[in-house]
Structure 1
Amino acid sequence: MTDTPSDAISSSVSPSASPSVSPSASPSLTLLGLGAMGTAFARAWLAVGYSLTVWNRTPSRAEALIAEGARPAASAAEAVAENGLVVTCLLDDASVGAALADADLTGKDLVDLTTGTPSEARTRAAWAEARGARFLSGGIMAVPPMIGAPEAGGYVLYSGSQDLFETHRTTLAPPAGTRFVGGNPGHAALQDVALLSGMYGMIAGAAHAFALVRGEKDISPAEFAPLLAQWVAAMSTMIPQIGEQLESGDYESGVTSGLAMQVAGIKTLLSTAQDQNVSPELLTSVFDLMRRRAETGGGREGFAGMVDLLG
């Protein structure tokens, strides 16, 4: 779905650090869900003096936050009634629907940080709007220790109501940087999953690399790790090039090592894995795609053409 001009992507990530505020000026919000991530968000808001109402299905999880200044609510509906801004950070989309089933959302601003699919986010947005609320979906690109720590570089992708985002941008900032990625409510979840997919692919390659060297007595995995990290970082410069090629449709522009040459080297990679008694299973699907693209006229291309084979 193409965003309208008014939904243009906000490309900068605003910092997650915010100055403390006086009680009289303290923004107020409600948070539903106090798992590890929800608790980290709660503490980040409390640390800068925000007025926070919390609810969790297991009330005992709120005890530590209450001691730090949070106000407990006996039910999700009661918590929602306390503030105009409501943030959900629950197990899954079904949990969001169950928690808000009896809540009056009329006039509320609902920000859903629950991990879910793009289609779930779009459906939840329509559900919220039908109940009189503005909706914003969030994709958290961080782990709990990164929340409230601006130097860690964590951020949250937001999509949906741009007016809601602009209204509460400052309030949403203390836990992590904020990035608005468009008016389609599913785009935060989609880019969240896309980024995680890239991470898992990187980790798969790293796992294979460590497996290759681990059996050698005179190669320390800990000493090898910086070399691997530096190499992966250097090769990551190919990613912007792939994006540009997909935009232009010219998959050969700027390519220095075409797929034909890359495919010729696969035999060496597989033979080395066999010699080291390492399974090649983490790499074979990539190699298969490379061969297929090269054999169908993409030998002079880089990796962009493989995207076409995927969908």
Structure 2
Amino acid sequence: MNDNTFEKSRLTLLGLGVMGTALARAWLAAGHPLTVWNRTAGRADPLAAEGAMVAGTAAEAVAASDLVVICLLDDASVGEALADADLTGKDLVNLTTGTPAQARARAEWAEKRGARLLDGGIMAVPPMIGAPGSGGYVFYSGSRALFDAHHDTLAVPAGTTYVGEDPGFAALHDVALLSAMTGMFAGISHAFALVRKEDVALKDFAPLLVGWLTAMAPYAYGITGHLESGDYTEGVVSNLAMMVEGNATLLRTAEEQGVSAELLTPFTALMERRLADGHGDEDTTGVIDLLTR
């Protein structure tokens, strides 16, 4: 263990899945005294060999530190793990993936139990944790004072991005970015489906695809301007009428290639609805209005 252990903040980590274990190793490598707990106790053995203190119960683990980081399966697991713990005066950092509403409810729950809670959304995969320059970071929301108090410790495994006092904002940002990623994965899957049966070298196609998506990503800035101004026609290069007409070629090509268009049609159908409502001179920003209930 690091010789400077005595200078580093003590903390507890609940949950030793792949992500939790990566977090634990990052704090241990940085010399932080760490107490760990996991429902399946055997997962703690390798970390014990690396210097972690292993608690027999979640309540014992919570009692060992003022700062308690939680990285469990889901929100229900958090409630179950902490049911018998004395949370009075504890600072909880919940890195368990959940919804904004769950984060807000959990913050109220923690306050009633005498604790403060900071919610987090991890924007990284385990190999990025504790790896300088990996680009991984964690969204945090809730008490700014709590975030500031533990910033140096929280910054050890990954970068930190504070997004507001509302406890639900970290989860909201997390899920919004993951949703965009999911849509991108859908587009990539459709693109490969179109070309895979042809005499196309996939290793040559992949960089073309990545380059094109990278070039198109700044489109998000234009949408931002439209939503802020309310004028969805400002600076439009390819208008909705043109894009809907072009969509017919996308769908026909899929049919010719023997590829299902089911990853495309939800979005193209929304574009057609917006066009039918008389917004052909806009870009696709108006689709957001159709999505918002």
Q: TM-score, normalised by structure 2?
A: 0.98
> Which consecutive residues of structure 1, in runs of 5 or more, have no partner in the other structure?
1-19
CA-CA distance at 1:29 after TM superposition: 0.2
Question: What secondary structure is seen at the aligned counterpart in 2 of 1:298?
Answer: coil
Q: Measured at CA, do residues 182 and 43 of structure 1 come closer, stay the same or move farther in structure 2, by a change above 3 Å? A: same
- Equivalent in 216, 234, 247 of residue 253 of structure 1: 234
Report the Cα distance in structure 2 between the residues aligned to 1:145 and 1:232, rounded to whole angstroms: 24
The AA in structure 1 aligned to 2:269 is D
Offset from partner CA, 1:254-284 (integer Å, 9 cap, x none): 1100000001111111111111111111000
**Mapping of 1:92-107 within 5 angstroms?**
92-107=74-89
Question: What secondary structure is seen at the aligned counterpart in 2 of 1:119?
Answer: helix
CA-CA distance at 1:150 after TM superposition: 2.4
Match of 1:141 in 2: 123
Report the Cα distance in structure 1 between the residues aligned to 2:175 and 2:3, rounded to whole angstroms: 35
Report the Cα distance in structure 1 between the residues aligned to 2:249 and 2:164, rounded to whole angstroms: 45
**Mapping of 1:1-311 within 5 angstroms?**
22-217=4-199, 219-311=200-292
CA-CA distance at 1:23 after TM superposition: 2.1
Aligned residues: 291
Match of 1:17 in 2: none
Give identity over the alignment, percent: 64
Are 1:29 and 1:87, in contact at CA under 8 Å, matched by a contact in 2? yes
Report the Cα distance in structure 1 between the residues aligned to 2:180 and 2:264, rounded to whole angstroms: 14
Report the Cα distance in structure 1 between the residues aligned to 2:39 and 2:239, rounded to whole angstroms: 55
Are 1:150 and 1:177, in contact at CA under 8 Å, matched by a contact in 2? no
Offset from partner CA, 1:86-120 (integer Å, 9 cap, x none): 00000111111111111111111000000111111
Segments ≥4 residues shifted beyond 6 Å: none
The AA in structure 2 aligned to 1:288 is A
The AA in structure 2 aligned to 1:140 is I
Report the Cα distance in structure 1 between the residues aligned to 2:3 and 2:119, rounded to whole angstroms: 26
Report the Cα distance in structure 2 between the residues aligned to 1:118 and 1:268, rounded to whole angstroms: 39
Offset from partner CA, 1:42-71 (integer Å, 9 cap, x none): 001011111100000111000000001100
The AA in structure 2 aligned to 1:264 is E
Offset from partner CA, 1:148-188 (integer Å, 9 cap, x none): 11221011000111111000000001111001101111111
Are 1:93 and 1:120, in contact at CA under 8 Å, matched by a contact in 2? yes
Report the Cα distance in structure 2 between the residues aligned to 1:34 and 1:263, rounded to whole angstroms: 48
- Between 1 and 2, higher relative CO (CA 8 Å, sep ≥ 6) is seen in 1
Question: What secondary structure is seen at the aligned counterpart in 2 of 1:157?
Answer: strand
Are 1:21 and 1:50, in contact at CA under 8 Å, matched by a contact in 2? no
> Which consecutive residues of structure 2, in runs of 5 or more, have no partner in the other structure?
none
Report the Cα distance in structure 1 between the residues aligned to 2:222 and 2:232, rounded to whole angstroms: 9
Report the Cα distance in structure 2 between the residues aligned to 1:21 and 1:167, rounded to whole angstroms: 23
Report the Cα distance in structure 1 between the residues aligned to 2:129 and 2:216, rounded to whole angstroms: 29
Question: What secondary structure is seen at the aligned counterpart in 2 of 1:110?
Answer: strand
Report the Cα distance in structure 2 between the residues aligned to 1:21 and 1:98, rounded to whole angstroms: 36
Report the Cα distance in structure 1 between the residues aligned to 2:89 and 2:242, rounded to whole angstroms: 60
Report the Cα distance in structure 2 between the residues aligned to 1:287 and 1:23, rounded to whole angstroms: 57
